Amino acid sequence: MKKYTLIDVFSGIGGFHNGFLNTERFEMLLAADYNQDCESFHRKNHPELPFEKVDLSKIDEEKYWKEKGISEVDVLIGGPPCQGFSTIGSRASSNAQKREKYDIRNNLIGHYINHVRVLRPKYFIMENVRGLTTYKKGNFFEDVLEEFNSIPGYKIDYKILNAADYGVPQIRQRTFVFGNRIGFEENTYPEPDHFENGINGSKWKTVGKAINDLIGKENEIDNHSPLNHRPKNIARYQLIPEGGRMPEDKLPPELYRKNFGSTFKRLHREKPSLTMVPGHNAFPIHPILDRSLTVREAARIQTFSDDLIFTGNRQSQCIQVGNAVPPLLAEKWANHVINILDKYGE
């Protein structure tokens, strides 16, 4: 069957393209990211895939792709962080009020849009946090969509999807902006195939089914080494019920502290996980053990296979796993895109 070409920019460790490649219908032209540990991950796990460590915020997209001899691609994916925005004054809105207008071009999202503008993929998908749509009272996202719509020939849409609705054992809501230039006017997204109550199909996947078999295998599997928690934190964890959070109003004085975050929430075996949030050394608490999840357990919840090994220090591994698009959700997107390209592609 026909294969389609694929490029992944701001790829991280490649959860997004992992799902696309699992379908065996895509040929990877390039994955690109600036993070050294993401490069190390690709060299270790996917040496056959073309990966380039490059600062995508400092390139001229047209020159970059011309030098690589790549003038077009079937599908472009990526997850540029939302940062580095600036304002360029104000303008009148429909209700005659003034509001700030954002210079999307100076944002990493703007660089992603430039890749779309230069490569003109038949289909593109950009993933970002849910809050992108409400950031700066929604004004920033409005300017993002305006910039996307300035590219001739594209039908643009967006949708907030919950990974749990696609078989990922995690409540993870993310914004997907997607578009095509092949005349597919409906511009649909993958239909959910898992449901909280299971009435319309399969029930949401649970944490227990994802990680229970790892109990007792600590330090025997790559990336499955628990943190050495301080006795005070272990005592705190022991007070957290399964599926609950720290009972701050019932803590003895010696265990109290301000600002108990998501790392002081215990997961439930019979429910999906909380969102795997990167940026620290600790994920939420194991459903029945008095410790935080290991990187391997978090990767299981993100639907990464056990044969993938995460590199760098623990904090970097947490960020790599937590930032990624769950490969299973990405695969559902890939199959959706395949159906569209098979039917409408040139």
Helices (H), 51-154: 61-67, 108-119, 139-149
Which of 2, 17, 7 is CA-nearest to residue 333? Answer: 17
Residues 6+ apart with CB under 8 A from 295: 223, 224, 225, 283, 310, 314, 317, 318, 321
State yes or no: is 82 an active-site residue.
yes
Distance, CA of 291 to CA of 225 (rounded, Å):
11
Amino acid at site 65 = W
Residue 23, both tokens: 């379908």
Q: How many CB atoms lie within 10 A of CB 105?
A: 13
Name, in order, each residue with C-beta under 8 angstroms of 282's C-beta and a sequence gap of 6 or more: 227, 263, 292, 318
Q: How far apart are CA 262 and CA 170, in angstroms?
A: 14
- What kind and span of H or E run contains 157? strand 155-162
* Conformation bin of residue 316: beta by default, left when phi > 0, alpha when psi is -120 to 50: alpha
Catalytic residue among 82, 104, 132, 319: 82
Rounded Cα gap, residues 332 and 124, in angstroms: 15
Q: Catalytic residues, which ones?
A: 82
